[in-house]
Amino acid sequence: MSEIKPSEAASTDDSAEETDWAAAKAFFDNLKTYKPRPPKPRYAVTIAVSSRTLFNMVAERKIYEDEGLEKYVAYQQEHESEPLKPGAAFPFVKALMTVNTRLRELYPDSEELFDIVLMTNNHAQVGVRLINSINHYDLTIERFCMTGGKSPIGYLKAYMTNLYLSKDAEKVTEAIEEGIAAATMFMPETEAETKLSDTQLRVAFDGDAVLFSDESEIIVKKHGLDSFFEHEKEFENKPLAQGPLKCFLEALGKLQRKFYEKNERMNCPIRTFLVTARSAASSGARVLKTLRSWGLEIDEALFLAGAPKGPLLQKIKPHIFFDDQMFHIEGAKELGTISAHVPYGIGQKYHKGKLIEQPEKKK
Amino acid sequence: MASTVQNTDVKQKDADRAVVVAVTSREVFKSGPDDGGEILEIDESHLLLKLLHRVNERLEEENPEEPLLFDVILITTDSQRQQQSSRIISSTKHYGLEISRFCFASEDDFAESLQTNNVQLFLTTDRNEASQAAQKGVLSALLDQRVAISTSDQLRVMFCEDAVIQPDSGHTPSFAAQMGEMRRRFRLSDSPLSFILVTLHGGRDRCADSLLTLRSSGLSVDEAYCLAGAPRGPILSVLQPHFMISISSSGLEK
């Protein structure tokens, strides 16, 4: 998968880049009311969110589907002073802002921050309502792309995106194929019993086909669990290949270390969780050794040995949980966890252990 | 001395309603050695003419009597080119380009010719030419160098607060109104014409202000990008605008 950020650009591009940067800095420094200025993309951890993940636009979406684009845009324009309600990615975005505040306190001159970009293929006129809604909740989102129907994939790359969240599985799949960490977000079906943390960003990851490649999952699906256990024991010391979210975990780890360096380990506002169906006894070692070989830390590793993930996630209360299998996503949603599906690997061809009959691909 | 000649091969546009766009002959025809041959070699930038023509075609599909069309003038802006007037005319006819008039001017008087020909938009790759025209009160836009290689079949017009060419605040609103009207002849999707707003340095509120200002001038842009200091190069390579019109940011200070 791709590096966290691309290598240095050519020197002529650099000076143009610096001019744009300096002009933006001047703009934000001169604002009458203080607003934190967005970081330099090259150094930031860039999270791109779609409008439907940031805000709840279910009703509006229905208008689009039933009455068409023109009626939908007109509706949005008529209601543009009414703020939209929060969507699935909203708590995650608020948690990112909390981390940024802590980072700015400790490192006032650093550009190593989260940068939140609104990436939508909505029409620009709908954008007015989106901007008004962002203002209503005072979210620190200053960068956006409203592509008026065109694919956002090129812009994801242009912004050096580290993670893309959308409701559209096709766009997410395309992003992953282009080497960008991405996931399709789902609202939980029930209200979580207690609120999510507002002082700590909590991110939960599945292991196989999310942080790691799907190589071991292929063995389970094709040869069964016993073969899988044997294989994992035999290759315990051989690191697994990377999965689509590995670089995002790496980016989180880099920011965590900035807190550790200032003696804030006990009070770190980022906490990561591995929630895997692997068992500690038989197949867990390989996972931990792989992470170690990558130089990555994960705060808590939870081996479920096949038990359902839902109840455990209820206790963890992450702002987002990434898994490649819809079966686990559904289980998490039912019990109130905000889930994000990573459409990668062999898991996409199976549902609850059975091969899905693929319909003829439409031309 | 500048002169204007009609292209008899092309139907003349409505003098009151058409949007007069001037393109320099330098963008359309390659300057080559004066080998005496009649026909000049055409430059890839003539793609722009194709896109303007395509908008006109689609407008006439909706309404065969449509008066609000692009009316393209080909202008020479240096004396050397001015000498090649007959070759320019014959080459234009040879390639069947939809140019209604030719204006043969030199460095000294081209800006005035733009005025006398009621040019509402002057397109050039030359920053100096654009500045000179702007000083005479003609709305000027820089042609993107990449227009030659763009694969888009949609004319993409970008509004941006880059201060390289000082905008003439008098003309932009009325041009925006005409463009808005033209844009409304088409549906939101599948339009041969797309308007893009890019905010390079300001934050989201700056972009929202520009969106609303353009909207109140009569133009609802299709796409909007707020860069807030992010490097413009990578974004513009994806955006692929054909030309860029400068909008004033000074009036929008909070």
pLDDT over 90 at A12, yes or no:
no
Q: What is the dihedral of CA B84, B86, B90, B92, to 10 degrees?
A: 60
Strand-pairing partners, residue A242, are A212
pLDDT over 70 at A49, yes or no:
yes
Q: Give the model's confidence band at A1: pLDDT under 50 very low, under 70 low, under 90 confident, else very high.
A: very low
Cβ contacts (< 8 Å) between B225 and chain A: which residues? Answer: 144-146, 155
pLDDT for position A149:
93
| Residue contact A17–B197, C-beta within 8 A | no
| Residue contact B229–A145, C-beta within 8 A | no
Residue A73 near residue A105, CB atoms below 8 Å = no
pLDDT for position A348:
87
> How many other C-beta atoms are found inside a 10 Å radius of the C-beta of residue A65?
9
* Predicted TM-score (pTM) of this structure: 0.92
Selected residue with higher pLDDT from A304 and B2: A304
Collapse the DSSP code of B252 into the 3-class scheme (helix H, G, I; strand E, B; otherwise coil) and give the result: helix
| Residue contact A146–B224, C-beta within 8 A | yes
- Tokens standing for A338? 């905000």
- What pLDDT digit, counting tens, does each position of B113-146 carry? 999 999 999 999 888 999 899 888 899 988 876 6
pLDDT over 60 at A112, yes or no:
yes
- Most B CBs within 10 Å, among A27, A69, A151, to test the B interface: A27
What gap in Å lies between CA A236 and CA A243, rounded to an integer? 18
Cβ contacts (< 8 Å) between A132 and chain B: which residues? Answer: 208
The ipTM, to two decimals, is 0.92
Q: What percent of chain B has pLDDT over 70?
A: 88
pLDDT over 90 at A94, yes or no:
yes
Which residues of chain A from 4 to 23 reach within 8 Å of chain B, CB to CB?
Answer: 9, 13, 16-17, 20-21, 23
- Tokens standing for A302? 């939870």
pLDDT over 90 at A354, yes or no:
no
Residue B18 near residue B178, CB atoms below 8 Å = no
Q: Per-residue pLDDT averaged across A119-123, rounded?
A: 97
| Residue contact A155–B197, C-beta within 8 A | no
Q: Give the model's confidence band at A159: pLDDT under 50 very low, under 70 low, under 90 confident, else very high.
A: very high
- B204 and A CB contact within 8 Å: yes
Residue B37 near residue B90, CB atoms below 8 Å = no
> How many other C-beta atoms are found inside a 10 Å radius of the C-beta of residue A144?
28
Of A206, A207, A353, nearest to A286 (Cα)? A207
Collapse the DSSP code of A30 into the 3-class scheme (helix H, G, I; strand E, B; otherwise coil) and give the result: coil
Q: Per-residue pLDDT averaged across A243-256, rounded?
A: 97
- Tokens standing for A252? 């989180």
pLDDT for position B150:
65
Collapse the DSSP code of A294 into the 3-class scheme (helix H, G, I; strand E, B; otherwise coil) and give the result: coil
Q: How far is B93 from chain A (nearest CA, A)?
A: 36
Instruction: Please report where in the chains the tokens 């009207």 appear, as a residue.
Output: B181
DSSP state at residue A130? H
pLDDT over 80 at A235, yes or no:
yes
Residue A136 near residue B206, CB atoms below 8 Å = no
Secondary structure of A192-239 as H, E, C letters:
CCCCCCCCCEEEEECCECCCECCHHHHHHHHHCHHHHHHHHHHCCCCC
pLDDT for position B166:
61
pLDDT for position B174:
86
Instruction: Lowest mean pLDDT of A261-275, B40-54, B234-248, name the range.
Output: B40-54
Q: Give the model's confidence band at A191: pLDDT under 50 very low, under 70 low, under 90 confident, else very high.
A: confident
Alpha helices (runs of H) in chain B, residue ranges in sequence order: 25-28, 47-62, 79-83, 85-95, 110-116, 127-135, 172-183, 204-216, 232-239
Q: Give the model's confidence band at A161: pLDDT under 50 very low, under 70 low, under 90 confident, else very high.
A: very high
- Tokens standing for A363? 């031309």
Across the interface, which of A23, A31, A148 has its CB nearest the CB of B229? A23
Residue A181 near residue A164, CB atoms below 8 Å = yes
pLDDT over 80 at A248, yes or no:
yes
Across the interface, which of B189, B202, B229 has its CB nearest the CB of A21? B229
Cβ contacts (< 8 Å) between A12 and chain B: which residues? Answer: none
Q: Give the model's confidence band at B228: pLDDT under 50 very low, under 70 low, under 90 confident, else very high.
A: very high
pLDDT for position A2:
42
Cβ contacts (< 8 Å) between A9 and chain B: which residues? Answer: 231
Cβ contacts (< 8 Å) between B208 and chain A: which residues? Answer: 127-128, 131-132
| Residue contact B188–A141, C-beta within 8 A | no
pLDDT over 60 at A4, yes or no:
no
| Residue contact A159–B215, C-beta within 8 A | no
Residue A120 near residue A146, CB atoms below 8 Å = yes
Q: HSE on the CB side for A206, CA within 13 Å?
A: 32
pLDDT over 70 at A11, yes or no:
no
Across the interface, which of B197, B202, B229 has its CB nearest the CB of A124? B197
Q: Which amino acid is at A258?
A: K
pLDDT for position B149:
60
| Residue contact A28–B212, C-beta within 8 A | no
Q: Give the model's confidence band at A360: pLDDT under 50 very low, under 70 low, under 90 confident, else very high.
A: low
What gap in Å lies between CA B23 and CA B120, rounded to an integer? 11
| Residue contact B228–A37, C-beta within 8 A | yes
CA of residue A261 relative to chain centroid, distance: 25
- B222 and A CB contact within 8 Å: yes
Q: What is the dihedral of CA A224, A226, A232, A234, to 10 degrees?
A: -130
- Tokens standing for A206? 């599945």
> How many other C-beta atoms are found inside a 10 Å radius of the C-beta of residue B88?
22
What gap in Å lies between CA A302 and CA A284, rounded to an integer? 9
pLDDT over 50 at A8, yes or no:
no
Residue of chain B nearest A122, judged by CA positions? B223
- B190 and A CB contact within 8 Å: no
Q: What percent of chain A has pLDDT over 90?
A: 80
pLDDT over 60 at A199, yes or no:
yes
Q: Per-residue pLDDT averaged across A29-55, rounded?
A: 94
Angle at alpha carbon of residue A230, lines to A224 and A233, rounded to 5°: 135
Q: Give the model's confidence band at B29: pLDDT under 50 very low, under 70 low, under 90 confident, else very high.
A: confident
Across the interface, which of B227, B232, B254 has its CB nearest the CB of A32? B254
Q: Give the model's confidence band at A166: pLDDT under 50 very low, under 70 low, under 90 confident, else very high.
A: very high
| Residue contact A146–B215, C-beta within 8 A | no
Strand-pairing partners, residue B42, are B29
Which backbone phi and psi does A267 adopt, to 5 degrees? -115, 25
Across the interface, which of A25, A37, A124 has its CB nearest the CB of B223? A124
